[in-house]
Structure 1
Amino acid sequence: MNESMATVFGLLGGLALFIFGMNMMSESLQKVAGDKMKKVLGVLTRNAVCGMLAGALVTAVLQSSSATTVLVIGFVSAGLMSLKQGISVIFGANIGTTMTAQLMAFKISDYIMPIVFIGFLIAFIAKKEKVKFVGQTIFAFGLLFVGIEMMGDVMKPLATSPVFINMMEKVSHIPVLGVGVGLVMTLVVQSSSATIAVLQSFASQAGPDGASVIGLVGAIPILLGDNIGTTITAILASIGQSKDAKRCAIAHSVFNITGSFIFIWIIKPFAKFVEMISPKGNELDVISRQIANAHMSFNIINTLIWLPLLPVMVKIVMFIVRDDKEVSIEDYKEKSFLDKNVISQPIAAMYLVSQEIRRTGRLVSEMIGNMKATVMNNDSKALAELEKNAKLVTEIDENTVSYISGMFSNGSLTEEQSSTTAGLLYVLNDIARVSKRCEDASPVIRAKLEGKYKFSKDAVEELGKVIDNVEIMYRTSIVSLENGDTKTARKVFDYRKELRNMEKKFNKNHLKRLRKKNCKPEFTYPFSNMLHSLERIGDSCNGMVEEVMDNVRFLELEEA
């Protein structure tokens, strides 16, 4: 293999190790954090300053501002976060992403392999799941530096190449060209952290004069281009999402583009400021830290500029992506909480699943109410609404089961999270069964409306009593899932016994009415069938509260 090919493959191999290590560290950190992420994510939905701080913290864990922005887009699209809150989180994400560059600036060449070995050893021999994840985090951290070292080794010949030096001189003297280089690099790699790591590694190489081959002044424009390039991921994630989600993605772009536009005019003063706040020493020894500090300073200063102007940012993105129409209540009713882009972030994905099951639960609760209105008051509109909701619940059920399957196949869930998510799936199955039982009753109700069946007054009252019992039982089941209250959950078992007794009693009453000629024989099947459908709802409610007994409940984002 010739020298050029060896350099290219060495650079690509080092970059691959770096990105693999970064993704592995992100996934392991999330698993180590576990339920603590609920507190961090809970802060996201508070005020703008808290959102910014939480955005920085989440990004430090996820090791990617793009990942945080995708998460925010999912939350905003689902209506769980306002546009203003979402934008403030994105501001914080830009600060949080600078942590990776700060880590890369440490000179730990002599300790890389011991770190890799220690991480591997802990992950290999640990029995406890969390300890294993700690080992994986340490191992991944070491891999980051293995990748950096590999890239640094293959870049040394480039630093003395006349052709490459000429190219770097052009980039150093034409800042816009440097911005373009950084932009293209990040678009190709889809990670600003990776391209900044490459930049740090390359800038640490000595040119013919013994100084950095590019210098801080030449590196800053490339850094600005990296910050612009990272916004493309968010733009792509917003395709097909709500208008507010698109606005969040555009806010990310506006933030970085406007910041880069300002800083490109003050590169030399900015470089002097960075040199002033960075460690002193030989340029080759300190430039990696200088680049990390420049990256952090750019994002902190840009955030301090934009945070007081948050309402202005909202107006800008509202102007770029305008509303076509007023959003109706029906639009919100049919709006899914699920976002496939968030599926690799366990706590966030579990929260969205919980919200989607809640939505399903509300629709089924409406169906029970509609069934009662139709039986008791011959309300044809209520029956039409019941049938419409039944179709919607079936669709939601299919989509949510597919989403949960994706969470498991992704492999990002811990054992505890897997158990909880499986419990949520069982709850969804029971809610879907309740919907099916209501749907099974609708032909009988429709026939009653059309005059094919004319139940006696006593029969209608009995059906009303059974539906009342079902409604109380179902709502009690949902409440127990909301608050995890096992005492409330146990009440459902009593309602279940009462429901079974009512079915037996009212079937006997119907037979008595037959003997007295108060009911026609052909009404026996529809009446008994409807009672049976309602009685089977009790089994599904029992199933829901049994999950509550196993500590399954709808996931809440806790406030710190």
Structure 2
Amino acid sequence: MIRHITLALLLIALGYGFWLSANFKEIAAGVALFLFGMLSLEQGFKSFTGGTLERILRGSTNRLWKSIGFGVISTTLMQSSTLVSLITISFVSAEMISLAGGIGIIMGANLGTTTGAWLIAGLGLRVDIASYAMPALVFGVVLLLQRGKVTKGLGYLALGVGFLFLGIAYMKSGFDAFQTAFDLSAYAIPGIGGVLVYTAIGMAITIIMQSSHATLLVIITALSAGQITYENALALAIGANLGSAVTSALGGMSANLGGKRLAIAHVVFNLLTATVAIVLIQQMSWAVDHLSAQIGIAEDDVLLKLALFHTLFNLLGVLLLAPFTRPLERFLVRAVRFEPKPMEQPRYLYPGALETPATAINALRKEVGHLYDNAYELIAMGLSLRPALIDSDQSLSEAVKMTRRIIPLDVDDVYERKIKSLHSEIIDFISEIQGRGLEEPAARQLYTLQQASRDIVEAVKGMKHLHKNLSRHGVSPNPVVREPYDAIRLTIARLLREIQQIRSQDPETVTSLSLDSLKLSSETSSQKFISELNRLVRARRLPARIATSMMNDESYTFEIGQNLIEAAQALLEPSSPRDQAIESKLALDEDDLQRLVDSTPEPN
């Protein structure tokens, strides 16, 4: 509601500004074109996030200097610290990189965003940049009309560059004309009061436009036209940095715990940087003047001096915070804690996870794992065994044998609350991923995880059927009736324990053969159970009527086992196509399993 009111007020203010001044209309059009150019650049770079960016990002966070370097380079190329920040938040949220690595990237992104100021101040306002915009737009449209994803991505990049250049040209023209009609520099505020006021203005502009690059463009073009003073421009640049922290924080608040911690770290870094810059603004101005003389910037070239100031105070922030990255990480882990969501609510599915295919697939894998955990608890309770007992080293056969009562459990109610609702959220998230277009390897992983989610649901449905007869015969005083159900309970409990043990291992040490052995064990257990029932019926110890019911329950047991194994296999599948190919070669197919089952000696 508040967002809608804010949007309405903004549109009214813009409409009034257009009616009031044609020059304001030109300036606003320049900002709009610049922002659209940034959106096009983001769309273009997202076309290349099918694996390369993710691999580079994960390989660039094992050292702090690598993280900072990645943040600088990626933001320089993309010219969007917001995009880099949101991608980093999504990676930290999906637990694909550490919080410390994410903090390093955020610091680097802040430093990398200063390159935009250098480009605008050093090139954008000194040449006829609009003449370069037209060819870029033409090439962009031609490339965008092609079918290939990479070609379309290049088209978006060319369009982005073209609209950026066109936006800068419109802004410059608008402010030049605005200068003759109205002189904003007459309202400049001297002293620390002016610094604070213009810092707040810079922050507000960035929050509204959701882009510190666009704010810097406004600042530099207004400064070049004499609409603001150099001192107030410095304060506006500080405010732009603070505003960028707010925009990324708003994006991070929709993430999970890791993403929220990184968003808070971003705010801490930018607050520290801004505070130091405000307190030392006179000393930093002197440093800018001194360095400008050393590197050949003219004394009256306030545009390049502003770019240098922007770089210096961000660099100072990096130098101040970098030694404390690990302590900050530990502090955030201890201090920033949120109440865990109920078991039936998604824990990893949030809009930011859709930033790249890698984060989306990883978040989906974790959520399917969460669904498996819910199913594991339900199935364990359906067996009248506590999950903690299955997770322990206690004897399962003794626990089954010593069961004196079947725990009452409304399986239908638990299924609706903890399984079906979460499965629906997973399916909805999958549809969102599919709508964004995926390369073949990612699409295959998506299908595998969707099938795993369905397997988990089918396993729980099997438990729903099985629990009815377990409640009736599980503690029967007749051992001939009770013992087959003890065997069923023991088979499922052992399978649950073995899958839990495999899932707790290092994924790199788990192979398909680990789960293939469980499939073989499930097949042989089923064969043994049916053979034992046939023997009891032949010996007239078990009525055929009850034996038939037991065979149906054994069928549910077998299906539960197969579904759980298939789900576990999908959750443990390697992410890289190369490793998947190796696992596929190692895995036993149905014919291999059947030969092994046939070669197993049949019980007497």
Q: TM-score under structure 2 normalisation?
A: 0.73
The within-5 A match list for 1:270-349 is 270-273=287-290, 275-276=292-293, 280=297, 288-310=303-325, 313=328, 321=335, 336-349=347-360
Give the corresponding residue for 1:124. Answer: 145
Structure 2 equivalent of residue 518 of structure 1: 541
In 2 relative to 1, CA 347–245 (structure 1 residues): closer, same or farther, beyond 3 Å?
A: closer
For residue 446 of structure 1, the aligned residue among 471, 480, 500 is: 471
CA drift of 1:519 comes to 2.5
Shift, 1:541, TM fit: 6.7
Please list, as runs of the form range in 1=range in 2, the aligned pairs for 1:357-506 lying within 5 A after superposition: 357-361=368-372, 364=375, 374=385, 376=397, 377-378=399-400, 392-409=418-435, 411=436, 413-414=438-439, 417-449=442-474, 451=476, 456=481, 459-460=484-485, 463=488, 467=492, 488=513, 492=516, 503=526, 506=529
Give the direction of change, closer, same or farther, for the CA distance of 1:479–1:157 in structure 2 (3 Å limit): same
Aligned-residue offset at 1:185: 0.6
Alpha-carbon separation, structure 2, partners of 1:110 and 1:349? 40
CA shift digits 1:477-511 (9 cap, x unpaired): 9899966999749x84x976885686577446425
Q: Secondary structure at the match of 1:32?
A: coil
Cα distance, 1:487–1:74 mapped onto 2, change above 3 Å: closer
**What does residue 180 of structure 2 align with?**
160
Alignment-mate amino acid for residue 248 of structure 1:
L
Greater mean deviation of Cα atoms: 443-452 or 137-146: 443-452
Specify the alignment match of 2:591 in structure 1. Answer: none
Provide the C-alpha distance between the structure 2 equivalents of 1:507 and 1:181, rounded to a whole number of angstroms. 78
Over the matched positions of the two proteins, sequence identity in percent amounts to 19
In the alignment, which of 267, 280, 283 is matched to residue 253 of structure 1? 267
1:357 deviates by: 2.7
Structure 1 position 288, deviation (Å):
4.8
Contact 2:132 2:165 in 1 (8 A): no
| CA separation of 1:156 and 1:324: change in aligned 2, threshold 3 A | closer
1:216-251 CA distance string (max 9 Å, x none): 433211000011112222333454766665443333
Which secondary structure state, in structure 1, belongs to the residue aligned with residue 348 of structure 2? coil
Bigger shift: 452-461 or 255-264?
A: 452-461
Alignment of 1:84-99 (within 5 A): 84-99=100-115
Contact 2:26 2:170 in 1 (8 A): yes
1:19 Cα deviation (Å)?
A: 1.7
The aligned amino acid for 1:217 is: E
Question: Match of 1:532?
Answer: 555
Letter in 2 for 1:229: G
1:353 aligns with 2:364: yes
Equivalent position of 2:286 in the other structure: 269
**Partners in 1 of 2:473 and 2:73 — Cα distance?**
59
Q: Which secondary structure does the structure 1 equivalent of 2:48 belong to?
A: helix
8 Å contact kept, 1:70–1:237 = yes
Q: Which has the higher relative contact order, 1 or 2, with Cα contacts under 8 A spaced 6 or more apart? A: 1
Matched, 1:230 2:244: yes
Deviation for aligned residue 1:194: 1.6
Residues 140-177 of structure 1 deviation map (CA, whole Å, 9 limit, x = unaligned): 22222122222222222222334423135769992222
Q: How many residues align?
A: 539
> Relative to structure 1, is the Cα distance of residues 349 and 413 closer, same or farther in structure 2, using a 3 angstrom cutoff?
same
Q: 1:385 to 1:190 in 2, by over 3 A?
A: farther
Name the CA distance, whole Å, in 1 between partners of 2:343 and 2:66.
27
Query: Aligned to 1:218, which of 229, 232, 237?
Result: 232
**Residue 112, structure 1, aligned to residue 133, structure 2:** yes
* Matches of 1:81 and 1:236, distance apart in 2: 21
SS at match of 2:109: helix
CA spacing shift, 1:171–1:45, aligned 2, 3 Å: same
2:600 match? none
User: 1:303, CA displacement in angstroms?
Assistant: 0.5
What do residues 438-479 of structure 1 show as CA deviations (whole Å, max 9, x unaligned)? 444333333344549965476247536864896699789989
Equivalent position amino acid for 1:280 in 2:
I
Q: CA deviation at 1:397?
A: 2.4
Conservation of the 8 A alpha-carbon contact between 1:484 and 1:553: no
Taking a change above 3 Å as real, the CA distance of residues 383 and 276 of structure 1, as seen in their structure-2 partners, is farther
Give the AA of the match of 2:133. I
Contact 1:473 1:538 in 2 (8 A): no
Tell me by how many angstroms 1:95 deviates: 2.0
Alpha-carbon deviation of 1:18? 1.8
Q: Which residue of 2 aligns with 1:146?
A: 166
Query: Which amino acid is 1:446 matched to?
Result: S
**Paired residue for 2:68, among 49, 52, 58?**
52
Q: How far, CA to CA, are the matches of 1:291 and 1:419 in structure 2?
A: 50
CA 1:504–1:266: 2 relative to 1, 3 Å: closer
Name the SS for the 1:21 alignment partner: helix
Q: Find out whether 1:187 has 2:227 as its counterpart.
A: no
In the superposition, relative to structure 1, how do residues 71 and 114 fare at CA in structure 2: closer, same or farther (>3 Å)?
closer
1:281 deviation in Å? 5.6
Alpha-carbon separation, structure 2, partners of 1:231 and 1:77: 17
- Cα–Cα, structure 1 residues 323 and 463, in superposed 2: closer, same or farther, change >3 Å? closer
- Residues 521-530 or 116-125, more deviating: 521-530
Structure 2: gaps of 5 or more residues: 1-16, 386-395, 580-604
- Does the 8 Å CA contact 1:354/1:554 hold for their aligned counterparts? no
Corresponding residue of 1:210 = none
Residues 460, 539 of structure 1: alpha-carbon distance in 2 compared, 3 angstrom cutoff? closer
Aligned pair partner of 1:11 in 24, 27, 45: 27
RMSD of the TM alignment (CA)? 4.7
Where does the alignment leave 5 or more consecutive residues of structure 1 unmatched?
208-212
Deviation at 1:136, TM superposition (A): 1.9
Distance 1:277 1:345 in 2: 43
| Matches of 2:508 and 2:378, distance apart in 1 | 23
Residues 51 and 86 in structure 1, CA contact (< 8 A), matched pair in contact too: yes
The 2-side partners of 1:33 and 1:234 are apart by: 20
Flag the 1:353–1:101 CA change in 2: closer, same or farther, 3 A.
Answer: farther
Pair 445,76 (structure 1): closer, same or farther in 2 beyond 3 Å: farther
* Structure 1 residues 542 and 334, CA gap change in structure 2 (3 angstroms): closer
Counterpart Cα distance in 1 of 2:477 and 2:251: 53
Go from structure 1 to structure 2 and tell me whether the alpha carbon gap of 1:55 and 1:452 turns closer, same or farther (over 3 Å shift): farther
